[in-house]
């Protein structure tokens, strides 16, 4: 390691959004910080690369980042980042009828859902109107007292339920399918508790802050955090994989942007046996199979309105989406998977050469799945965009093993750092009043394996750093 052997107040391992945010909070509090990253580039799930052809910039993992606008951590940091909003946050194409559109305007969205408009306003709309206090409560679920207790109770009345139950408030397919597509971001069986809450929060964010992309790619968000960090005097070392905590310089505070499996690898012998057993029982969720495309033009959607959407949910009816997610949860690949697609150039044309487009699509797969799902994904795209294949100039495929090789925190292709079902909703990685704190003095876990889980919000790092600062003498 090229860093000095001592003199640091804090060492941070891992430079995903949580590691970077945690390091920056420590640095802005006056700590001298060393950030260590195993890869040659910073960012973790925020990296952007030319995966297909020169001039086509693809986000390897995260692209659409509403939580980066809503999170109390990013709001406090107020980074100089160029967010770009598509005309339509999300679209859900349907066979033989107009696509369901989720617009920035709650009223316009509700109007488009006809007789389901009132139910949309009462669920997604009410969550959006509760504003940042409710978001702060949901992203800091162990804070007492909660920022917005009454709003949280109202949200929980529907959000704690399975999406298959809450979805019954919608009588017609467009609103029901749009809600199902939102809820499927949970990467869980939609008959599981709390899946409705995922859908409600994402739908609400479309209205309250939008579903933006970062100009040039989400790597720009990581770079902005790193610039601020260096400006606060931090030292950053890349290409340095930590095999054991004993390799790190001594410091009063250590933040680990690692999942339980990596924590066991670097500190297993030092951890008490009981804590170690609890980490060994931590459950990772289904994986992702992702295809990035370089296109010679926009996707030829049957419904032209979908061309304005940044995010497209390809799964058909609510029942089809639920069936696909149920199959994955039970360890099977459905014939027709739920496919999540992003056409970033709609909001940010700089991602591709003039007149060209990028597009990526992924489906959920059983943990560690080795099956090639390219054909299944493209069949779903062609279902709603006939002729898509003729637009493809190049494609880049990443299954669970490739994703984990790119980012070790994506164990078995799990992009959320562990299953987000009700049992691990707050017990991440263990059930404790402060799950960020490990039994090792001054050592904190800050990855998406801690509350509030996956997403580009930085709250794992923000909270762990805050607790570490509070614990300093």
Note the residue count of the chain.
Answer: 473
> Same domain for 193 and 264?
no
Q: Three-state DSSP class for 89?
A: strand
Contact 285, 416 (CB under 8 A): yes
> Same domain for 104 and 174?
yes
Q: Using 50, 70 and 90 to split pLDDT, how confident is the model at 472?
A: low
pLDDT in tens, 362-395: 999 999 999 999 999 999 999 999 999 999 999 9
Q: Using 50, 70 and 90 to split pLDDT, how confident is the model at 144?
A: confident
> Same domain for 112 and 228?
no
| Burial class of residue 280, CB neighbours in 10 A (0-12, 13-18, 19+) | exposed
Domain that holds residue 323: 67-71+81-213+286-406
> Same domain for 131 and 245?
no
In a domain, 413, yes or no: no
Q: Which of 385, 406, 427 is the last residue of a domain?
A: 406
Q: Using 50, 70 and 90 to split pLDDT, how confident is the model at 471?
A: confident
Q: How many domains does the chain have?
A: 2
Sign of CA pseudo-dihedral 130, 21, 8, 429: positive
Per the structure block, which two tokens stand in for 222?
């990581």
In a domain, 412, yes or no: no
CATH number at residue 233: 3.50.50.60
Widest pairwise Cα distance in the chain: 66
Q: What pLDDT score was predicted for residue 411?
A: 97
Contact 444, 468 (CB under 8 A): yes
Contact 289, 377 (CB under 8 A): yes
Cβ-Cβ contacts under 8 Å for 126 (sequence gap 6 or more): 154, 155
In a domain, 337, yes or no: yes
pLDDT in tens, 404-452: 999 999 999 999 999 999 999 878 999 999 999 999 999 999 999 999 9
In a domain, 320, yes or no: yes
> Same domain for 313 and 352?
yes
């Amino acid at each position: 390691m090229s860093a000095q052997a001592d003199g640091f107040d804090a060492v941070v391992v891992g430079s995903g959004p949580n590691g970077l945010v945690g390091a920056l909070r420590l640095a802005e509090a006056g700590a001298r910080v060393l950030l260590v990253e195993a890869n040659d580039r910073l960012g973790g799930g925020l990296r952007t690369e030319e995966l297909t052809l020169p001039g086509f910039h693809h986000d390897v993992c995260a692209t659409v980042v509403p939580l980066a606008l809503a999170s109390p951590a990013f709001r406090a940091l107020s980074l100089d980042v160029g967010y770009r909003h598509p005309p339509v946050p999300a679209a859900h194409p349907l066979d033989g009828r107009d696509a369901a559109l989720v617009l920035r305007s709650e009223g316009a969205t509700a109007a488009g859902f006809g007789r389901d408009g009132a139910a949309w306003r009462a669920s997604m709309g009410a969550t959006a109107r509760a504003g940042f206090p409710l978001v702060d409560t949901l992203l800091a679920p162990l804070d007492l007292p909660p920022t917005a207790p009454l709003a949280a109770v109202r949200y929980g009345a529907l959000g704690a339920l399975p999406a298959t139950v809450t979805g019954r408030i919608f009588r017609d397919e467009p609103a029901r399918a749009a809600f199902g597509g939102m809820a499927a971001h949970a990467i869980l069986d939609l008959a599981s508790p709390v899946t409705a809450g995922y859908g409600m929060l994402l739908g609400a964010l479309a209205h309250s802050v939008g579903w933006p992309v970062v100009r040039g790619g989400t790597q720009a968000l990581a770079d902005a955090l790193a610039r601020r960090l260096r400006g606060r005097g931090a030292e950053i070392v890349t290409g340095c994989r930590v095999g054991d905590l004993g390799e790190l310089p001594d410091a009063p505070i250590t933040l680990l942007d690692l999942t339980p499996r990596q924590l066991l690898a670097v500190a297993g012998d030092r951890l008490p046996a009981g804590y170690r057993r609890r980490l060994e029982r931590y459950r990772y969720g289904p994986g992702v199979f992702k295809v990035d495309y370089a296109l010679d033009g926009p996707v030829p959607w049957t419904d032209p309105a979908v061309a304005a959407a940044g995010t497209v949910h390809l799964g058909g009816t609510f029942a089809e989406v639920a069936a696909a997610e149920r199959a994955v949860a039970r360890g099977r690949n459905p014939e027709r998977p739920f496919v999540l697609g992003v056409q970033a150039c709609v909001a940010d044309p700089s991602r591709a050469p003039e007149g060209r487009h990028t597009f990526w699509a992924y489906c959920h797969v059983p943990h560690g799945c080795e099956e090639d799902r390219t054909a299944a994904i493209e069949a779903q795209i062609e279902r709603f965009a006939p002729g898509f294949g003729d637009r493809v100039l190049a494609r880049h495929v990443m299954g669970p093993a490739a994703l984990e090789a790119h980012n070790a925190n994506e164990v078995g292709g799990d992009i959320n750092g562990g299953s987000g079902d009700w049992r691990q909703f707050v017990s991440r990685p263990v059930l404790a009043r402060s799950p960020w704190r490990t039994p090792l003095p001054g050592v904190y876990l800050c990855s998406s394996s801690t509350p509030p889980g996956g997403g580009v919000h930085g709250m794992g790092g923000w909270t762990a750093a805050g607790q570490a600062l509070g614990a300093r003498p």
